[in-house]
Chains A and B, each alone.
Chain A
Amino acid sequence: MLGCRMRRMQQRIGIRTISANPANPMRNEAPMSTAVTFDHVSKTYGRGDSAFQALDNISLEIPQGSFYGIIGSSGAGKSTLVRTVNGLVKPSSGSVDVLGRNPAALSKHELAGLRHEVGMIFQHYNLLQSKTVAQNVAIPLILAGVPKSEIAPRVAQTLELVGLGDRADSYPAKMSGGQCQRVGIARALVTNPKILLSDEATSALDPITTRQILDLLNDIHRETGITVLLITHQMSVIARACEHVAVMAHGHVVEQGRVADVFTRPEHALTKQFVETVIPRALPTDLTKRIESGKEGAVVKVSYQGDAGRHVLADLETATGAHGLSLLYAHENLLHDVTLGQLVVGLDGVNGDGNDLASRLQALRNEHYTIEVLHD
């Protein structure tokens, strides 16, 4: 976080020509197929008075090759939702389409086949303590009926991919949490699945290890094009790793969209709370006091995305006709594929008519800027 105060920061016009419109990293602009489609999925556990509705009429599309995050508090139903993808949970109503198949309607044999194409990693790794790393990773291949001679090279290759090439003969009990999760990832990927389900995979890890695991998942996603469906209760995980996010509460999806958009303009109260955990919305109290007292003159807060930060000051100066700008507060967050920034700027030589200022700023409002007048 960067909090600084600079007087009369003059905008250098030259920068504007360099900064073209930020390249739009959105992959879902072109029509594309979906890996998973949830179609009005509901799930109720139990009957009568003790019945609990974990999922309530959820419809959601997970694009093929996307890195999709689902966030929610405990008990929001996200674990149940992700388990309908590999048939660990059967919906009470509605249907799930996974790679063109409906897990709930498959025979035992067909479901086993689908599960070889859908890898899963868990919060507590769920490794066999009685087997070595290599033996753990080999199990899905044994289950898939891969010939014995092919198993060892594929296990070695997958362990290399997750950075555990030298730990093949170790036992899980002698490894750290991060290493265990790498084994879990290797085990989930060894059959070359098309979808990877991550069930709170980093929730038991420390922040540094969490980043390493998320970066590993991102690398794998980029290199293999695998669809990743991740559930978490940590917004920082969504911020670092995901392209898309859906926010769940009480069995509903309350908000969904591109991560950058949801972080810039969260709509639902719960989403705002989650975003707040990564990007603090409240300004420092002494700054707020100074602004409110009018000492700083006209002040605006600008939220921007990506490269728009490069010319935000010049744009402000031009649009408002200010003689100079005072940078009162700045904060920038690097999300998975976009930078989100917040600036609080004092506009020198602009005063008086609030309506006038607001209307002048209107010209600036576009997809990369959100502008709020704090004082005029």
Chain B
Amino acid sequence: MTDFLDSTVTFSQYAQAFQDTVYMVGIALFLGSLIGIPVGVALAITRQGGLLENRVVYLVLNTLVNIIRSLPFIILMVAIMPFTRVVAGTSIGTNAALVPLTVYVAPYIGRLIESAILEVDPGIYEAAEAMGAGTFQTIRLFILPEAKGSIVLALTTACIGLIGATAMAGTIGGGGIGDLAISYGYQQFDTIVILITVVILIVVVQAVQSFGNWYARKSRHTATDAQ
């Protein structure tokens, strides 16, 4: 307890940091899904042998996703700063951090959704076609419901990736738990802050993963799930 009081960081700072993290992860995950899910669907259906095979669209999307995915977040953040300034009006602060976070996570989600959709049994596509379903109907009534469990797990993974990325958003004044650990714990040698933030991050990640697993299992209705 004495050690805790010795720390220069107050409880309200933790609360604020936690709030910032939740805000950044939540919004970036939402915006990233808005872009990433359609990208993932597009990747899955335009690839060779896909529902709407289209080499050009696939090549463009695939290359774009690979380019963004090859940049570490900290470099991406700095590299797209002019873009961030145009979109958010500033390149400093929590809202400014949302831009690189979204750009970072959208192609990540796209890739994960793509593989989630590719997991769907080819027999489902055949059944859909045999029933006279159009492309859009096949995606909406057959593929997305069947991939839902995997999509939930994909978004869980993306969410945890985002929590990690927000720590680096601190370098542009994004705030959050990770920022707290770096600016107080690392730069001011406050071991207690490191310890507490590590515990918070572990608990949060565990909670997110457990919720994701539970929800994915619920969506899948496989024989092994307990009712």
Interface of A with B (CB < 8 Å)?
86, 88, 108, 111-116, 118, 120, 122, 124-131, 139-140, 142-144, 171-174, 187, 197
Contacts and interface: CB of A to CB of B under 8 A. Distances in A.
Contacts of B134: 108, 112
Interface string B133-158: 11001000110011011000000000
A173 B132 contact: no
A129 B146 CA distance: 7
A130 B149 contact: yes
- Which of B126, B130, B137, B221 is packed against the most chain A CB atoms within 10 Å? B130
A171 to B, nearest CB: 4
24 contacts: A86-B130, A108-B134, A111-B132, A115-B130, A116-B131, A122-B126, A122-B127, A124-B121, A124-B123, A126-B126, A128-B124, A128-B142, A128-B145, A129-B146, A129-B220, A130-B149, A130-B219, A139-B142, A142-B141, A143-B131, A143-B133, A143-B137, A174-B221, A197-B130
Given A116-B132, A143-B132, A130 B123 contact: no
Listed from nearest, the 9 A-B pairs whose CB atoms lie closest are A115-B132, A112-B132, A126-B127, A126-B123, A171-B221, A173-B223, A120-B130, A130-B145, A173-B222
B128 to A, nearest CB: 8
A88 B141 contact: no
A266 to B, nearest CB: 33
Describe A's contact surface by its main secondary structure: mixed
B132 A129 contact: no
Contact of A139 (B141, B221, B223): B141
Contact of A113 (B132, B133, B146): B132
A220 to B, nearest CB: 18
A88 B129 CA distance: 7
Interface of B: 121, 123-124, 126-127, 129-134, 137, 141-142, 145-146, 148-149, 219-223
A129 B222 contact: yes
Contacts of B121: 124, 126
A131 B145 contact: yes
A126 B124 contact: yes
A115 B146 contact: no
B127 A130 contact: no
A130 B132 contact: no
A144 B132 contact: yes
Contacts of A172: 221
A208 B145 CA distance: 33
A280 to B, nearest CB: 36
A130 B146 contact: yes
B124 to A, nearest CB: 6
A139 B221 CA distance: 18
A144 B132 CA distance: 8
Contacts of B130: 86, 88, 115, 118, 120, 197
B206 to A, nearest CB: 27
Contacts of A118: 130
A122 B126 CA distance: 10
Contacts of A120: 127, 130-131
Contacts of A131: 145
Nearest to A109: B134
Nearest to B131: A140
Contacts of B222: 129, 173
B3 to A, nearest CB: 51
Contacts of A130: 145-146, 148-149, 219-221
Given A125-B123, A127-B127, A144-B132, 6 more contacts: A130-B148, A140-B131, A140-B132, A142-B141, A143-B131, A143-B133
Given A86-B130, A88-B130, A143-B131, A174 B149 contact: no
A41 to B, nearest CB: 19
Contacts of A124: 121, 123
